[in-house]
Amino acid sequence: MCGRFTLILEPGDFEDEFDLGGIPDSYLPRYNIAPTQPIAMVADARSKRAEMFRWGLIPSWAKDVSIGSNLINARAETLAEKPSFRSAYKTRRGLILASGFYEWRPDPQGSGRKEPVYIHPVDGKPVTFAGLWEEWHSAQGDVIRSAVIITTHSNELISPFHERMPVILFGDDRSRWLDPWSSPEILNNLLVPFPPDKLAFYPVSRMINSPSAEGAACIQPLAGG
């Protein structure tokens, strides 16, 4: 699964890394993005503008927003079947911008506690997670746009920590994912593990266990790690 991630690009760096039509004025670099918090996502293939969504999908038919806390990840294998995701899979696909993500492993020192690790691209460049989005309207007229990260089975690097990992798209696959005319065959072929040799990891502080933890210290490598 993916329960925490980062997006630490400065606003001026977006044009160099992504072919975007703009970024939200409210964007700030984040070192510990947690569920229900804002995430940056490209949801429109034409404008390619990044916009802020709430992390945790709230289907349009939901009675209230609480369901979003349980829908932060969606399994790639069942997107076309699950009522919460099948409509969005057909027509509301997006690219969630990220610099890296966290996972937890057993403490090598044998304490029995889980130790967080930060997983990031070897080349240091940001990535895009495959995502879905929805627009939810409350009885009071409020509108919330929310998103979910799609996961697939883990590659060889991450499988010792967890059986799932986010679907990472790059190159032309990003355009194929956003293309409203992409066939189910094309979409399904994109939902595969990212090559393990293109990722690396290192242990970080347990401070990230708190959703309120923020700042560069979150991704600081642990001494001796």
Q: Which residues are catalytic?
A: 2, 103
d(CA 132, CA 82): 13
Amino acid identity, position 194: F
Cβ-proximal residues to 225 (8 Å cutoff; 6+ apart), any chain: 202, 203, 204
Quote the Cα angle for 148-55-79, to 5°: 10
d(CA 6, CA 102): 8
**Beta strands 143-153; 73-75: pairing state:** parallel
DSSP string, 149-165: EEEEE--TTTTTT-SEE
